[in-house]
């Protein structure tokens, strides 16, 4: 099976949790599955920007990205964060190849049209999984940062959830798993919804039960499912150890997002 695993938040920031996530990903690969990792790094980027004296601003869960912020994102996401994940996998004996979205033209972006304007924030316009297939054939794991190259020659900051969804669709993945800081999607009663159908999402959004960073995440879930990905699950990073069991075991952690 093909898996795309999106990793962000504490799963990147906390060293122990990062290794736990890496261990689960390696276990998937050892079981014979083809695994691609897509990562964000928003916490690390916010810290770097603060050190540079820049305040981070978000609109509907997306970071406002001027040229200086974009350059910092390229440095942090495609640099330190990406290579720390490659190192974690390598420490566990698993070969990995770090990529930015522009490498090999795997992901091409266009500027996201928004009101107000978000700057150098992009959305995926084209994909070419040739290099991902080549990395898999070599027995390695591609590790992809959420930066993509525009057709105008500019790099764009892409929401990592959107990038993961595009990667899953492009590679015809069997499953897309979001390893997150939250236990899952919470309903109006505050309890985690173990199953969530796409038709339920608009009402949850309208009533503001879901908001902020969960909005682009659920849009990414929808795009993946409608793009042919068979399973989509939002899973707390602390439960990453269940990743190898998703294929053949009933898992109670997180939220399974379904078409109907």
Question: Which of these, 110, 120, 4, lies nearest to 71 by C-alpha position?
Answer: 120
Q: Which CATH architecture has domain 2-258?
A: 3-Layer(aba) Sandwich (3.40)
So where are the chain's domains?
A: 2-258
Question: Which of these, 222, 137, 223, 160, lies nearest to 185 by C-alpha position?
Answer: 222
Give the number of other Cβ atoms within 10 Å of residue 161's Cβ: 29
Give pTM, 2 decimals. 0.93
Bond preceding residue 35 cis, omega within 30 of 0: no
Give the number of other Cβ atoms within 10 Å of residue 164's Cβ: 32
The reply, when asked if residue 157 is annotated as ligand binding, is yes
- Mean pLDDT, 10 residues at a time, the chain of 260 residues: 91 88 96 96 93 91 91 95 96 96 92 94 95 97 96 94 96 95 90 94 90 87 96 93 82 89
DSSP state of 53: T
pLDDT at residue 101, as a whole number: 81
The reply, when asked if residue 41 is annotated as ligand binding, is yes
pLDDT at residue 109, as a whole number: 96
pLDDT at residue 10, as a whole number: 72
The reply, when asked if residue 159 is annotated as ligand binding, is no
pLDDT at residue 12, as a whole number: 84
Report the alpha-carbon distance of residue 225 to residue 229 in Å, rounded. Answer: 5
């Amino acid at each position: 099976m093909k898996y795309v695993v999106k990793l962000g938040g504490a799963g990147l920031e906390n060293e122990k949790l990062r290794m736990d996530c890496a261990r689960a990903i390696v276990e998937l690969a050892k079981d014979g599955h083809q695994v691609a990792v897509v990562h964000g790094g928003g916490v690390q980027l916010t810290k770097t920007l603060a050190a540079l004296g820049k305040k981070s601003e978000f609109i509907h869960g997306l970071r406002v990205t001027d040229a200086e912020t974009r350059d910092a994102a390229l440095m942090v996401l495609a640099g330190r964060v990406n290579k720390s994940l490659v190192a974690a996998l390598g420490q566990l004996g698993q070969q990995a190849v770090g990529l930015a979205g522009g490498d090999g033209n795997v992901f091409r972006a266009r500027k996201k049209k928004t009101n107000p304007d978000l700057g150098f924030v992009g959305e995926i316009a084209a994909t070419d999984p040739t290099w991902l297939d080549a990395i898999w054939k070599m027995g390695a794991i591609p590790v992809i940062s959420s930066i993509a190259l525009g057709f105008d020659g500019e790099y764009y900051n892409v929401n990592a959830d959107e990038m993961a969804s595009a990667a899953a669709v492009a590679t015809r993945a069997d499953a897309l798993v979001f390893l997150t800081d939250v236990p899952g999607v919470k309903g109006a009663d505050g309890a985690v919804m173990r199953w969530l159908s796409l038709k339920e999402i608009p009402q949850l959004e309208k009533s503001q039960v879901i908001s902020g960073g969960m909005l682009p995440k659920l849009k990414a879930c929808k795009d993946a499912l409608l793009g042919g990905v068979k399973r989509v699950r939002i899973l707390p990073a602390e439960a990453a150890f269940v990743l190898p069991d998703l294929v053949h075991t009933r898992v109670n952690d997180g939220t399974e997002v379904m078409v109907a």
